[in-house]
Structure 1
Amino acid sequence: MSYLNTPELPEVKRKVLNSALYLFVEQGFFKTSIPDLVKHSGVSTGSIYHSFKDKQDIAESLMQALLEQIEREQTQILEQHKTSWDRFYALSEWLMLTAQRHPHVTQFVLHARHKEFMPDLLPICSSKPFTTLRNTIQQGMDEGVIIQMDLMVAAACTYGGVLRLIQLSLDNMLERPLMSYLDEITQASWRSVAT
């Protein structure tokens, strides 16, 4: 199931990027060739090189497209929820649902060794989607419902447990379906920082 589905992304690019997402996770960036992308995407070599300079450009375009789509999804969530708890819960649910429905997205964004093939990429935790997660926790501090503490510590206490369960799910280490842990992990995480 493809994750990138934005209408402003031309069909050829969308096909190549969705194939790259799958192949980069399954085979690794260095073991994925342009012929692999041609075979998987159904897009000709010429069309790939017309749309992208090289494989690194594909990887950089993929990361940019993923982060932009993630930002749009987060914005929709934030518009629907006003309190910091509601936002934290909804964002945690969204993280878990995305990992369940689109595991390659989670694996590529969180676990690929980006610096090996995109050396100029800033650390993923400094990207807008991760800033948004931290901002929901800062909002809780500003509202007085979260203890005043270092923001990175508070974010690690809240989203860290959610992200760890996602990793355990991707590694097939959980005894139950991932979503069955949502209430327990969000409540336990929130209690660790709540006033």
Structure 2
Amino acid sequence: MEKRKINPQKKIDQVICAARKLFVEKGYRGVAIPEIVKESGVSVGAIYLHFGNKEKLAETVYQKTLQQFMDLFLERIGGATSIQDKLRAFAELVFEITEEDSEMMEYMLSVRKEIRSNMLFPLCSSAAFLEVQRIIGDGIASGEIKPGNHLIAAVSYTGVILRAVELRMQGVLEQPLQDLSDELVDNAWTSIAAQ
């Protein structure tokens, strides 16, 4: 008889995917470990072995999701040369995820609010948002972006982008965000660009 091989990383990924889906659907407080077991196909014991408890699982889901976004963002800006192109890459990635993996985007925007932990930080403190702030700071230094507080400029730029995402998810914007990308990105850029 051939011995069954267990891939612990596959189990971890299944649990993370299932938990994120359920957190979006029902909210963090509305999901119990047995539901995650059912959705993921992974045993209760394996969940507790790998994560310890529901709060640590939620922290892992949150951190992995933000890291996945950051990895995609860094990949996108790797070839961009101008400040405007780097910020456009951020916006286009956000729009793409909204259309192709709305669960991920909805999770990043909403579920975080329910989890109370010292290990989790607001989305505006995430590595991706800090990178946007750094890019904007570079733009202020180079004169491409009007002088001022780089955090406020980042809020101005990302506010246009993220509000469009919320409106799309609510069904107010009926067209895919990629179809509206040029106008949205132009409006976001105009809010911070040097005159």
Q: Output the TM-score relative to the length of structure 2.
A: 0.90
Deviation at 1:97, TM superposition (A): 0.5
Deviation at 1:82, TM superposition (A): 1.6
Contact kept in structure 1, 2:62 and 2:112, CA below 8 Å: no
Unaligned runs of 5+ in 1: 1-8
Count of aligned residue pairs for this structure pair: 186
Deviation at 1:118, TM superposition (A): 2.9
Per-residue CA distance 1:148-183 (angstroms, 9 max, x = gap): 111122112212101100000111111322211110
Query: Which one-letter code corresponds to 2:168 in the other structure?
Result: S
Deviation at 1:113, TM superposition (A): 4.5
Query: Which one-letter code corresponds to 2:116 in the other structure?
Result: M
Query: Which one-letter code corresponds to 1:117 in the other structure?
Result: I
Per-residue CA distance 1:37-91 (angstroms, 9 max, x = gap): 1111111112111111111111001111112212211211221112101101111
Query: Which one-letter code corresponds to 1:83 in the other structure?
Result: S
- 1:18-167 equivalent positions in 2, closer than 5 A: 18-114=17-113, 116-120=114-118, 121-167=120-166
Contact kept in structure 2, 1:59 and 1:118, CA below 8 Å: no
Contact kept in structure 2, 1:60 and 1:118, CA below 8 Å: no
Instruction: Report SS of the residue matched to 1:175.
Output: coil
CA distance in 1 between partners of 2:78 and 2:18 (Å): 31
CA distance in 2 between partners of 1:35 and 1:50 (Å): 15
CA distance in 1 between partners of 2:63 and 2:191 (Å): 33
Query: Which one-letter code corresponds to 1:145 in the other structure?
Result: E
CA distance in 2 between partners of 1:144 and 1:113 (Å): 35
Query: Which one-letter code corresponds to 2:30 in the other structure?
Result: K
Deviation at 1:185, TM superposition (A): 0.9
Instruction: Report SS of the residue matched to 1:76.
Output: helix
CA distance in 2 between partners of 1:150 and 1:78 (Å): 22
Instruction: Report SS of the residue matched to 2:28.
Output: coil
CA distance in 2 between partners of 1:28 and 1:158 (Å): 28
Unaligned runs of 5+ in 2: 1-7
Query: Which one-letter code corresponds to 1:183 in the other structure?
Result: D
Query: Which one-letter code corresponds to 1:23 in the other structure?
Result: L
CA distance in 1 between partners of 2:134 and 2:109 (Å): 19
Instruction: Report SS of the residue matched to 2:31.
Output: coil
Query: Which one-letter code corresponds to 1:78 in the other structure?
Result: I
Q: Output the TM-score relative to the length of structure 1.
A: 0.90
Identity of aligned residues (%): 30
CA distance in 1 between partners of 2:112 and 2:49 (Å): 27
Deviation at 1:20, TM superposition (A): 0.5
The CA RMSD over aligned residues, in Å, is 1.5
